[in-house]
Amino acid sequence: MQVRGRQTEGMGPAVGSPPRVQGGAIFSTDPLLCASHAPGYNTWATCGQAQDHLERGRAPPRIEGIVEQETYVALDLETTGLSPERDRIIEIGMVKFTPQGVLDTFATFVNPGRPISFQITQLTGIRDRDVRDAPTLETLLPAIRSFIGKSTLVGHNIGFDISFLAAAGLRLRNPSIDTFALAGIVWPHAARYNLATLAAEMGITPQASHRALEDADTARQLFLALLERARQLPLSLIQDINRLAEGTGWPLAGIFRSIEHARTRSGFARATLADQLRAKGLLDYSGAVALLEDVEAVEEVTPAPDLVSFDIEAQKALFLPDGLLAQQFPGYEFRPQQVTMLEAVAETLRDGGVLMIEAGTGTGKTLAYLVPAAYYAVSQGKRVVISTNTINLQDQIYQKDIPDLQRILPFPFRAAVLKGRSNYLCLRKLQTMKQSRQLSADEVHALVRILIWAQSTATGDQAELMLPNDTDKAVWSYLSAESETCLNEECRYFQRGSCFLQRARQRAAGSHLIIVNHSLLLADAAVENAVLPEYDCLIVDEAHHLEDATTKQLSFHVSQPAIEQELGWLTGSSRGRGFQGLLHEAVALLSPHLAPDSRAELMRLSQEIAGLAEQVRDAAQSLFSSLAAFAEHQNDTSGDYSLRLRITDALRVQPRWSQIEIMWDNTAVLISGLRERLRRLGQMAVEAASLDDMEGLPELIRDLAGRAEFWNLIQSEVTAILTSSRANRVDWLEILPEANTASLHSAPLHVGEMIYEYLLSRRHAVVFTSATLRAGEDFSFLRERLGILDAREVALDSPFDYRASTLIYCPTDMPEPSQPFYLASVARAIEQVALALRGRTLVLFTSYHQLRKALELVGPALHEAGITILAQGNGSSRTQLLQQFKESSDTVLFGTRSFWEGIDVVGPALSCVIITRLPFAVPTEPIFEARSEAFEDPFQQYSVPDAILRFRQGFGRLIRSHTDRGVVVILDRRVLSKRYGQMFLKALPSCTVEHGPLDFVGHRAAQWVGSRS
């Protein structure tokens, strides 16, 4: 007690380096705890010693607004795994503190009564012998309870720790603050949100990580740093947050309440710059948005022959061994293929037409097309659009390659990145949602994050924000700048020049190069080029994805959750969640301005819409449940994760289907009624607008029209899907087993004509490029899929020496994938390779089912050998798995379809790629099946070339630099036993190929990787 009193009075310092944990001990500076240690435990430090330890460190930040007497306990546990039910605690660390300083610490190992896995020991350094003599959790619970007392708990993902203690019988009712959640709110630009990264970004240097006391103390320091950041927020924003959070039970509400309380109580509502500007009317509600510099007045893109001429030889000279690139970029390597590509692209831009150019890995194709594009755009005064499949590549080009070129090219040029509307924040909708009073705690959390982020973002681009859960995504989807609800010129944010989307488009209009992704390119095509400014030439990178991207862009799908969400936004009655809704807003806005008769009609309409919305919700629920039951009844389709059932005329004549049609007819009547009433409500708003100039009315009119249009689309598309076949569409029903929900889909059957019509026929020049454009010896497969009638075709080999660097090993005694023991053999091969190379292996599967089975078979042996398996589908995102794979040693990565491309691990961290099976599409997948029907020999003409493209992508994961070396193991015997198998091998660069016994694979892999040619 004395220690605590002295520290509180003395405003004790923060922990600089907390005590190390030693075996089997409770460490506490609390004399009560010191005295109450169970007999037999070793006390590591006396209270005085520990106190000395705490005296070091820096002064704590001043935290206004936090009740000074409030005591917190930062808590962290180390455990044997992630499941509170199945796993056990092995170490506990706690730091008791106030904002003024540390009061006490508590640390102990815990005997889990079971062995600690290698991975956990690897992660934490805690071994079985460390915990063997430690107390059990049961004996520690009274001490833990006593230490925590009534304090507020603080921790990173604190729910995890609380749930472990609860599973052990300690049900804590204390308030808790999750630093992960708080960081997401007040530090929206963090690169990552794990404890170590956040601590580093806040200038906190942890003593160690993945140890309980150290992590608890890092969480304490992070908490204080985050509080300080929260205190810096504008008072008006804090007041908005408190109003939104009122009565919602949002766990972080207390922090913002106390900050506001302290400011107003002190009589010094400390005016930040933002507050002062807001008071003067110079700042928008959304913070710094109005402070952004005006978008430069849009400069015309006009010819500038005085700056540069379109001289192809001059461009080639830049890439020569003594050229400008070699002078400016350390480590630059001259690659003849890159110059050949530049020349082909430049000639196409100059002469017009279509170029298909395949450039193997390592060619440096981005610069090979950016340089001629910049020369062309500036000299001719014509925009060039560059389209990528992924936003990642789009960002990489815009953030790295373009600035590099702008720095070194002998003339200035402008470039802009433009994304789809849903990537940008709509300020008008943010303002509307901010007025809401009926948000759930999760929605408040998501909205507060976006509000705070809106203070500092210059782009309003969602890529800057982490949206980890479904509520975040749902709130974003409401707040994004979707077209149905955009007021364009009528919007006040548009008029003030603060609309993010508008600003991005203005920047694009004034740029020579515009970097987009395929979905925006196609959205532009779908609306007759109304999204992008006029452009002359197009370069499509990652062009092998264009057919899928076009298909996706022109697809439709609807599910029960989508309907629920729409109804929730309309009525604010989404099963007790959601904000007040558009209907409420319409009544509040219109009724004061209407004559009594019209007001009565408004109230009647409003009640009818609310009633119909409920009926539509129930009818849709019954319909989708029946669809799910129908699909399960028909479950003769393959597909091991989700069930996809193609809806054909043969299916539509089944008796059970007629019941579904009847249900839909009834639902459609309700939707018609809802739609008509929304239209009438919209008319009333238009009439009111003609009489009165009410603020918010144009937005309301647009929103109502958007909602009516939504229901119109649902009605027409679902009617078409359920009742009749259309010439160029394929329809299907999909069930996600884990969610047990059905969804209806339709997609275009052929997209080539549309690509030709909108992308090819209207441009002076179009370049398609990728590392994989050929599905055999020529470009015919992709040319036909993309509707390319005539093109110059160039294939450039990779500059890498594959024969010297890459061994392709094909076991000769593998069973075929359909035969017994195939999976057992796959597991044997993985085990041998992983043991021989100590991990460093990427295993590519074609299905989750196969991946999980292999994991079960090979997991225990690799675990025993200390090799970690990172597997897709274990809860971590693709990015997290890749990051972990790159950073860890002794690791194997298991992935399915999305891992066959886009993985770029340079160096020995990836020394082997195992292709478990040739990546044929599932023949019953609806779009694939429907497209197959157009071929005489679907397997040879469609399945094989489609799989070869994917196979080449998978192969391409291995060698990413001149110095890489490794093995590709192909475990699908069909490459040897089938005639078409040879086509797969022939599609690869010339490597060293060996056939041999399965049991030799590990030895040979180690030999190859270990040797140097």
Q: Is 168 helix (H, G, I), strand (E, B) or coil?
A: coil
* Total residues found in the chain within this entry: 1013
Q: Determine the Cα–Cα distance for residues 792 and 776; give it in Å rounded to an integer.
A: 17
611 Cβ contact partners less than 8 Å away, ≥ 6 residues apart: none
893 Cβ contact partners less than 8 Å away, ≥ 6 residues apart: 841, 842, 843, 869, 870, 871, 881, 882, 885, 899
For residue 681, which amino acid is it?
A: L
Q: What is the DSSP pairing of strand 841-844 with strand 891-895?
A: parallel
Beta strands in 381-536 (DSSP E): 384-388, 415-417, 513-517
Q: Report in angstroms how near the CB of residue 501 gets to ligand SF4 at its nearest.
A: 5
List beta partners, residue 502: none
Q: Determine the Cα–Cα distance for residues 324 and 301; give it in Å rounded to an integer.
A: 26
Q: Which is nearer to ligand SF4, 371 or 475 (CB)?
A: 475
In degrees and rounded to multiples of 5, residue 819 shows phi and psi of -90, 160
Catalytic pick from 210, 544, 584, 745? Answer: 210
Q: Which is nearer to ligand SF4, 45 or 479 (CB)?
A: 479
Q: Report in angstroms how near the CB of residue 460 gets to ligand SF4 at its nearest.
A: 9
Q: Which is nearer to ligand SF4, 703 or 717 (CB)?
A: 703
Residue 473: CB atoms within 10 Å: 13
Q: Which helix (H) or strand (E) holds 105?
A: strand 101-109
Instruction: State the residues that interact with ligand SF4 by CB under 6 A.
Output: 426-428, 481, 486-488, 491, 493-494, 499, 501-502
Q: Determine the Cα–Cα distance for residues 547 and 295; give it in Å rounded to an integer.
A: 35
Residue that has been written with the tokens 């309301």 in this structure: 700
Q: Report in angstroms how near the CB of residue 290 gets to ligand SF4 at its nearest.
A: 13
Q: Report in angstroms how near the CB of residue 506 gets to ligand SF4 at its nearest.
A: 12
Distances (CA, A) of 800 to 360, 510, 908: 9, 39, 16
CB 337 within 8 A of CB 796: yes
Q: Report in angstroms how near the CB of residue 518 gets to ligand SF4 at its nearest.
A: 22
The two three-digit tokens of residue 900, written as one number: 């066959």
Q: Determine the Cα–Cα distance for residues 870 and 861; give it in Å rounded to an integer.
A: 15
Q: Report in angstroms how near the CB of residue 581 gets to ligand SF4 at its nearest.
A: 18
Where are the alpha helices (H) located in 26-157, listed in sequence order? 31-36, 47-55, 118-124, 128-131, 137-148
Q: Determine the Cα–Cα distance for residues 961 and 810; give it in Å rounded to an integer.
A: 24
Cα 900 vs. chain centroid, distance in angstroms? 18
Q: Determine the Cα–Cα distance for residues 827 and 858; give it in Å rounded to an integer.
A: 5
697 Cβ contact partners less than 8 Å away, ≥ 6 residues apart: 589, 685, 688, 689
CB 501 within 8 A of CB 365: no
CB 80 within 8 A of CB 124: no
Q: Which helix (H) or strand (E) holds 476?
A: helix 470-479
Residue that has been written with the tokens 């209407």 in this structure: 594
Largest Cα–Cα separation, the chain: 91
Residue that has been written with the tokens 């309700």 in this structure: 670
Q: Report in angstroms how near the CB of residue 478 gets to ligand SF4 at its nearest.
A: 12
Does 210 participate in catalysis according to the annotation? yes
Q: Which is nearer to ligand SF4, 283 or 766 (CB)?
A: 283
The candidate with the shortest Cα–Cα distance to 111, out of 169, 167, 41, 171, is: 41
Beta strands in 521-655 (DSSP E): 537-540, 556-559, 643-646
CB 485 within 8 A of CB 703: yes
Where are the alpha helices (H) located in 727-818, listed in sequence order? 752-755, 780-785, 802-805
The candidate with the shortest Cα–Cα distance to 172, out of 201, 147, 198, 195, is: 147
Cα 91 vs. chain centroid, distance in angstroms? 33
Q: Which is nearer to ligand SF4, 493 or 894 (CB)?
A: 493
CB 808 within 8 A of CB 832: no
Q: Determine the Cα–Cα distance for residues 316 and 338; give it in Å rounded to an integer.
A: 9
Residue that has been written with the tokens 């140890």 in this structure: 211
Q: Determine the Cα–Cα distance for residues 98 and 96; give it in Å rounded to an integer.
A: 7
Q: Report in angstroms how near the CB of residue 503 gets to ligand SF4 at its nearest.
A: 9
Q: Which is nearer to ligand SF4, 493 or 845 (CB)?
A: 493
Q: Which is nearer to ligand SF4, 194 or 422 (CB)?
A: 422
CB 492 within 8 A of CB 428: yes
For residue 900, which amino acid is it?
A: W
Residues classed as catalytic = 210
